[in-house]
Amino acid sequence: MPPIETSATVAVTKWRAGQTTSTHDQVAEEVPVALEYNGISHAVMLATPNDLEDFALGFSLTEGILAVPSELYSCEISGDLDGIRIELEIASERFFSLKEKRRSLTGRTGCGLCGTETLPQAIRIPPPVVSTAAFSADTLHAAFRQMEQQQLLQQRTGATHAAAWLATDGQVTLVREDVGRHNALDKLIGALRRGGIDTATGAAIVTSRASYEMVQKAASAGIGILAAVSAPTALAVRIADITGLTLAGFVRQQGHAIYTHPQRLMA
Could you give the dihedral angle defined by the CA atoms of residues 233, 238, 239 and 244, in that order, rounded to the nearest 10 degrees? 120
Residues whose CB falls within 8 Å of the CB of residue 155, separated by 6 or more in sequence, listed in order: none
CA gap 212, 216 in Å, rounded: 6
Of 11, 17, 111, 119, the catalytic one is 111
Beta-sheet strands, E only, within the chain: 7-16, 19-28, 31-37, 40-47, 72-80, 83-90, 135-136, 161-166, 172-178, 203-206, 225-228, 246-252, 255-260, 265-266
Write the DSSP string, 142-208.
HHHHHHHHH-HHHHHHS--EEEEEE-TTS-EEEEEEESSHHHHHHHHHHHHHHTT--GGGSEEEESS
Active site residue 114: no
Q: Which sequence positions are flagged as catalytic?
A: 111
